[in-house]
Amino acid sequence: MRAQVLLQPGDIKNHPLHLQNVPIPKPGPYELLIKIHACGICRTDLHVVEGELELKKLPIIPGHQIVGEVKECGSGIKDFKPGERVGVAWVQSTCGKCPFCLTHRENLCMSATFTGWTAPGGFADYIVAPPHFVYHLPDTYPDIQAAPLLCAGIIGYRSLRLMNISDWSGRNIGIYGFGAAGHIAIQLLKAWGANVYVATRDKSHQILAQQLGAIWTGGTLDHPPVWLDGAVVFAPAGEIVPAGLKALERDGRLILAGIHMSPIPSFSYDILYGERMIKSVTNNTKQDGIEFLDHAAKIGIKTHVQTFPLEDANEALYALKYDHIQGAGVLIMD
């Protein structure tokens, strides 16, 4: 099979991914063999490829927003069958035994494995995956539209849930950075009745935010015209944190959605005072994924995608890094 393999991390402009022919993996008794049709690209993939995340396995195949077809089921698999369309996301497995797993907080499991980081990912023709974190996908989404739901969508959903807001009607919510996750999160917020304010550096992203219903758009560090009841930072830029805090109403929460962020500059205590809170997102639970995919289908979320052939994975990540993609980028295998 074809696979984009990372042998050593490096700047994406130097094309660190290498297209190779590698053996099709064989599923174990509790694994699925999945033929990949599409795989979304994500900032986390870029962090892996450029070495901003500590690499625990080399060589590695990145990619963790996978849509494909079950080709073979291990002997112990009961809930899936060949021919089904499924999705594979960031969390691949957890231990199931630690205090976090036993209290439905498996996103915090210290023994978790991750698709495209500690286990081979989706920039390839096939993947094997254990079934627990494999998702049945809504029939309403074609493959390329479904792929961004599996990380950008799920993480965006978890980020909003962590604001701890029970009634979104009329609430003022900020989004910092407007890529794949932001353009899905705004659709959730609009469906829930919130007012959305988007701060992002790229003019084309501001235009998309306006088209999707943002009341206001501005530059990354601009102060919105109202106090925000909550905000989520999707951009991996630490300097946004003080700016986001300054825009929060008292008792507001600033949610940091990335797995990696540049250093956060120091800031005075007064912009945190007033029971404002900073909270990070760490992975997701299986229930997050199930709930979000159900919401997406009911609300009718539409993903804006730009496709690239598997051969152009380096170019796709380069485009992602420099904000040349509106919405989400997706690699297609066929």
| Domain boundaries defined on the chain | 2-153+283-332, 163-280
Coil, helix or strand at residue 35 = strand
The parts of the chain modelled with pLDDT lower than 70 are none
The string of pLDDT tens digits covering residues 263-294 is 999 999 999 999 999 999 999 999 999 999 99
Give me the half-sphere count of Cα atoms (radius 13 Å) on the Cβ side of residue 301: 33
The string of pLDDT tens digits covering residues 203-213 is 999 999 999 99
Q: Hey, which residues does 129 pair with through a beta bridge?
A: 32
Say if residue 170 is exposed, middle or buried (CB neighbours under 10 Å; 0-12, 13-18, 19+).
Answer: exposed
Helix (H) or strand (E) holding 165: none
**Rounded Cα–Cα distance for residues 55 and 49 (Å):** 9
Asked if residue 59 has a cis previous peptide bond (ω within 30° of 0), the answer is yes
Cβ atoms within 10 A of the Cβ of 67, count? 30
**Rounded Cα–Cα distance for residues 132 and 78 (Å):** 11
The fold of 163-280 is Rossmann fold (3.40.50)
What pLDDT, on a 0 to 100 scale, did the predictor assign at position 21?
98
pTM above 0.85, yes or no: yes
- Would you state the torsion angle of the CA atoms of residues 283, 140, 163, 220, taken in this order, to the nearest 10 degrees? 90
Which residues neighbour 211 within 8 Å (Cβ) at sequence distance 6 or greater? none
The fold of 2-153+283-332 is Quinone Oxidoreductase; Chain A, domain 1 (3.90.180)
**Rounded Cα–Cα distance for residues 176 and 39 (Å):** 25
In this structure, which amino acid lies at residue 219? G
What pLDDT, on a 0 to 100 scale, did the predictor assign at position 334?
81
